Structure 1
Amino acid sequence: MTASGGGPAARGPRGAEAIHTAVLDLLAADGYARLTVEGVARRSGVNKTTLYRWWPSKPALVAATFRHAIARDLPVPDTGALRGDLVTLVRSKAAFFADGPGRLAADVLAHTGADPELARLADELLGQHGTHVSEVTGRAVARGELAGPVDDVLLADLLLGPVWLRAVVTRRRMSTADADALVDTLLAGLRR
């Protein structure tokens, strides 16, 4: 299965790291609208046909780059406690979207309303974050910290909504105190 079909993160063309670096560099320099697959090929030193073999479109290539950044920069925390995991998750996601690849992702995804392919990319990336929440709550249920099933989609939305609002709309950095308060407020509701 190819990267465009959601295959394993480890799969990809030779030079994948150079490709992802080129995408991020070009996004930072010129923005999404001016990014081209041809420009990524030139910058990375990888043949354009190789890029199209793995990613059939610019949004697919950008999505793969952001998936790679998320997998590399946002491991799912395992502190041994639900609160610790959620606090670490929110803090790390707030930091991710404030700087570097995450900041670029926020900038690109701020334009999803005008582009259906970007809207699908947003759904995919936010779904990846939802998977992180699901892993954390699954361990919490197994440890007995949470009773019964949890609506992980809703919890991910509640946790990540404020992070996303600050990253994309207000561009205010979420403090650690804000992240802690957000988690504590949600935990109070979950444990009722």
Structure 2
Amino acid sequence: MRDDDTTEDGAGDAAAAAPLARPSTGARRNPASADAIRQAAADILAEDGYARFSIEAVARRARAGKPTIYRWWPSKAALLLDVYHRQKHGVVTPDTGDLVEDLTAFLDSLFRHWRDTPTGPVFRSVIAEAQSDESAAEALGAYMEERFAQSAQMVERALRRGEIAAHVDPRLAIELVVSFAWCRLLTGRLDMETAAVRAAVCLFVDGWRAGSAQPA
């Protein structure tokens, strides 16, 4: 029986000559198919870059139907962010007992990751697309909420240690730090020495110290 995903775009005759599509399991992801799709997406990005990346190309390479891909990843940006996150090796959220050192190591590793791997241009492109594409904006927003929750744990630990003032909102604090990182990414200024990163972090943390005045 022919997979219903292969009938997209009137591909009847072409589908017959193409390799058989991987079996779909409906809304529940088939791990093997999902991994094949992610690998196909990563390979296309590595070979052709973001500008030539498309769901159609991923579907051909992964031998999956476009409806299957869109059922599991509602937009191109969602798939790209999934691939991006799985390639995000070496970015740390440490627990050194000192917030300045934690955030310095976090930003240092993030800048290095964006600078030294293909993921920096990919993430920058997703941010750019989100400015004019609602689905990309939704995917990016959902991804960042998840990342903010994870990274904010560094600030939460500092709160519990009494290292910063009790009124500091960890979620907002980490958003300020990440916004600084995004500015650097989008303007191609990722070559910061660790000492310069630490100096920038100190500007944030000094404002969050317990001796700082609470906003009215």
Could you say which TM-score interval applies, normalised by the shorter chain? Answer: 0.7 to 0.9
**CA offset at residue 142 of structure 1?**
1.8
Q: Which runs of 5+ in 1 are unaligned?
A: 6-10
Q: Point out which structure has higher relative CO (alpha carbons under 8 A, 6+ apart).
A: 1
2:180 to 141, 162, 167: 162
- 1:134 is aligned to 152
Letter matched to residue 30 of structure 1? D
- Listed one character per residue, the Cα deviations across residues 65-98 of structure 1 (whole Å, up to 9, x for unaligned) are 233334x443422223212211111112222222
- 2:105 is aligned to 88
CA–CA separation in structure 2 for the residues paired with 1:139 and 1:37: 41
Q: Which moved more, 1:148-157 or 1:87-96?
A: 148-157
**CA offset at residue 140 of structure 1?**
1.3
CA–CA separation in structure 1 for the residues paired with 2:141 and 2:87: 16
Q: Which moved more, 1:167-176 or 1:112-121?
A: 167-176
Specify whether residues 20 and 188 from structure 1 end up closer, same or farther in structure 2 by C-alpha distance, changes over 3 A only: same
Which protein is richer in helix relative to its size? Answer: 1
**CA offset at residue 123 of structure 1?**
2.2
- 1:8 is aligned to none
Asked whether the equivalents of residues 107 and 197 of structure 2 are also in contact (C-alpha less than 8 Å), the reply is yes
Asked whether the equivalents of residues 112 and 190 of structure 2 are also in contact (C-alpha less than 8 Å), the reply is no
Q: Which runs of 5+ in 2 are unaligned?
A: 1-26
Letter matched to residue 194 of structure 2? T
What is the identity percentage for the equivalent residue pairs of Structure 1 and Structure 2?
A: 34
Specify whether residues 61 and 21 from structure 1 end up closer, same or farther in structure 2 by C-alpha distance, changes over 3 A only: same
**CA offset at residue 171 of structure 1?**
4.3
TM-score (norm 1): 0.77
Q: Kindly indicate whether residue 135 of structure 2 is the aligned counterpart of residue 117 of structure 1.
A: yes
Where 1:130 maps in the other structure, the secondary structure is: helix
**CA offset at residue 179 of structure 1?**
1.1
- 2:84 is aligned to 66
Specify whether residues 128 and 182 from structure 1 end up closer, same or farther in structure 2 by C-alpha distance, changes over 3 A only: farther
Specify whether residues 162 and 57 from structure 1 end up closer, same or farther in structure 2 by C-alpha distance, changes over 3 A only: closer
Asked whether the equivalents of residues 87 and 119 of structure 2 are also in contact (C-alpha less than 8 Å), the reply is yes
Q: Kindly indicate whether residue 58 of structure 2 is the aligned counterpart of residue 36 of structure 1.
A: no
